[in-house]
Structure 1
Amino acid sequence: MPHDSFLPPEYVEQKRDRRTSLLAIGLFAVIVFAIAAAFLHRQDQLQRAIERQEHAIERTREAGQQVALLTNLQASRLQMLDRAELAAALVERVPRSILMAQLIGRMPEGLALTEFDLGSTRIRTPPSEVVVDASGRRTARTAAATDPAPIEVPRYVVRLGLKGVAPTDLHVSEFLAALNDDPLLERVRLESTQEDVVDRDIVRRFEITCALVPDADVRTDGGTP
Structure 2
Amino acid sequence: MSTTFLPEDYLAQKADKRTNIISLVLFVIVMLSVWFAFLWGNRRTKVVKTEEETITAQFVRAEAEIENLKKLEAQQEDMLDKAELAAALVERVRRSNLLAEIINRMPPRMSMLKFELRSTELKEPTSTIADGAVGKLNRPGGPDRMKTREEIKDELEKVTAPKYQVDVTLVGVTTTDIEVSSFMSALNSFELLSTVRLDYSEEQDVEGRTMRQFKIDMSIANSADVRLTRPTTIKKNMTDPMSEELRFVQPNTTTVPARPAVKSTSEEG
The TM-score with structure 1 as length reference comes to 0.61
Q: 1:136 to 1:195 in 2, by over 3 A?
A: farther
Deviations 1:37-83 (A, max 9, x none): xxxxxxxxxxxxxxxxxxx9xx9999877655543332221001111
* Correspondences of 1:184-195 after superposition (within 5 Å): 184-195=192-203
SS in 1 for 2:182: helix
In structure 1, the residue matched to 2:212 is: 204
Q: CA deviation at 1:128?
A: 4.9
2:183 maps to 1:175: yes
Aligned counterparts of 1:68 and 1:90: Cα–Cα separation in 2: 33
2:223 maps to 1:224: no
In structure 1, the residue matched to 2:110 is: 111
Name segments (4+ residues, structure 1) moved above 6 Å.
Answer: 59-66
Aligned counterparts of 2:193 and 2:101: Cα–Cα separation in 1: 10
Counterpart AA for 1:73:
L
SS in 1 for 2:153: coil
| Unaligned residue ranges in structure 2 (runs of 5+) | 1-55, 233-269
The TM-score with structure 2 as length reference comes to 0.52
- Count of aligned residue pairs for this structure pair: 166
| 1:86–1:154 contact (8 Å) kept in structure 2 | yes
* Correspondences of 1:126-165 after superposition (within 5 Å): 126-128=125-127, 134=139, 146-148=153-155, 149-165=157-173
Between Structure 1 and Structure 2, the one with more strand by share is 1
SS in 1 for 2:114: strand
| 1:111–1:167 contact (8 Å) kept in structure 2 | yes
Greater displacement, 65-74 / 103-112: 65-74
Aligned counterparts of 2:159 and 2:63: Cα–Cα separation in 1: 27
SS in 2 for 1:146: helix
Aligned counterparts of 1:128 and 1:136: Cα–Cα separation in 2: 22
Q: CA deviation at 1:136?
A: 5.6
2:72 maps to 1:73: yes
Q: Percent identity among equivalent residues? A: 38
In structure 2, the residue matched to 1:14 is: none
2:91 maps to 1:83: no
In structure 2, the residue matched to 1:24 is: none
| Unaligned residue ranges in structure 1 (runs of 5+) | 1-55
| 1:79–1:151 contact (8 Å) kept in structure 2 | no
